Structure formats: structure tokens, C-alpha cells
Amino acid sequence: MYKLIALDMDRTLLRDDKSLSEKTIHAVRKARERGIRVVIASGRPTKGIRNYLEALGLVSEEDYVISYNGALVQNVKTGEIISKNVLLGKDVHVIYELSKKLGLHIHAFSKEHGLITPRDNPYTQIESIVNGFPIKEMDFSKVSMDDEIIKMAIAEEEEILTNAIKCIPEELSQRYTMVRSMPRSLEILSPNSNKGRGVEALAKHLGIKREEVICVGDAENDMHMIEFAGLGVAMGNATDSLKRIADYVSKSNEEDGVAHVIEKFALK
């Protein structure tokens, strides 16, 4: 019997227009009624997930959320932190120099300053709108060395970013967790952070075994949790690489793929 279901949000739980279908809401709530833990595991900050948690009824003291691609795991109601892995200001300096060298835009989520970028740009504006964070422009070379940075991202048009990623020194790609959550964004996290680590930390906290976990996603940043899960599910609209490692391929996000998984494996 499955006891924990971890769901990616964008292009998995949500339709392309960022809405939740009634069928998906019903399936999630039925799973919760059965005593199954349902958790959102997203690259977004917790603030950018809150409205969806409320719509799904996942806001009690028994509910948890995995945000920033696994860097932060916390209780939805109390805010209790189960797991947290951050970067520091000194890492911002390193990635900022890389972004300048590659000609890419950059932004970061700072504990002290919020959503920061050295220069306003369309990609940071999208991050701001989607997650409800105001943008603060600041010189990244002046970010304090010990400021907690939960996530950074470098962004550009898809083809430009793809080519730029090939030029990232191996030393840096090994020093950090780098995941491509969207075609135009590469996220940089603590080496101990990914969605798989986040799900693992939560499962351990709840006393749930790996084989009792279902994880569902569509993109490269979901790969670690798909590999960790007892049942790793790729959406019908997932990348080919994710489909190859998944145990099961569901319907697309426009076809209620999450509801299909819950009904097939958790509610039968």
C-alpha cells in the first residue's frame, strides 16, 4: 500500500494554464481521506505554492510541502522545518561570474533580501509574477558572504541556454546541484539538494518506507525523486529522458494524468 504521493506542480499537477482540474482536486482529497500523505514537490518557493495547497485542502498540521526543488521541506501549517539545505553569498559570487562569462541572466532567492537580480530581466519578472515576490535589483558582488541563498537560477532562451550549459566547467557542475526545471532556466542548489533528497527526508520523518512512495513529474528536475520512489511516474507530457527511467507513464497534465495515477495505484 502506498502511503506518500509526491507531486511536481507545473506541467504535472497543473494544466498548461496553471489551473487545477476538478478531477485532480477530487482525487487528491480522496487520497487524503484514505490516510495517504499527498505533498507538492516543486521548484517554486513555498509562497508560490500556497494557493494550490489551499485549493487541494493540504494545509493542516499533517501536511507538508517540498519547495525550491527539495532544498526546503516544511510543515504547511506550523512552518516547522524538516530539512533545509542552502547556499551562501560566496556561492552567488561564483555563479554570478559564471553567468557573466556565459552571457546569461541570473537571479537568486536570498533570506535577507528576497528575490534578487543584478539587472531586471524578463525571466526574473516571470519568477516574480508566478511566485508573488517583488524584485530587488542589487549588485551581486556586494551580497554578503554568509547570506543564506536557498536557490539561484541562470536563464536565457532555450537554445542559447542549452549551448551555454555545455560550457559550464565540470568542477562547478560537480560542486552544485544543477537542474533544468524549465527549458529557459537552469537552477543551482546546494549539492545536498534535489527533489529526491527532499522526498527521502520527509518519508524518513514520517516513518514511510521507500517502496511506499509514489513520485510523479514531467521534467529533468524531477529525475531524482522518480528514481527514489517505489513507483516513479512520468507524465504523458514528460521529457523522453524522464519517461525512460520511470516505472510508469501516465496521461498528460491536460488529461488529468495525476488523477489517473492516484485512482489507478492509490485508490483501487
Residue numbers annotated as active site: 8
23's grid cell? 478531477
Nearest-angstrom CA–CA distance, 142 and 203: 39
Nearest-angstrom CA–CA distance, 154 and 219: 17
The 3 state secondary structure assigned to 174-228 is HHCEEEEEECCEEEEECCCCCHHHHHHHHHHHHCCCHHHEEEEECCHHHHHHHHH
Nearest-angstrom CA–CA distance, 265 and 268: 6
Nearest-angstrom CA–CA distance, 203 and 66: 12
Quickly tell me which residue has 527514489 as its cell. Answer: 228
The 3 state secondary structure assigned to 43-68 is CCCHHHCHHHHHHHCCCCCCCEEEEH
Do residues 198 and 204 make contact, with C-beta atoms less than 8 angstroms apart?
no
Nearest-angstrom CA–CA distance, 245 and 226: 8
167's grid cell? 560550457
Nearest to 62 by CA among 4, 147, 129, 113: 4
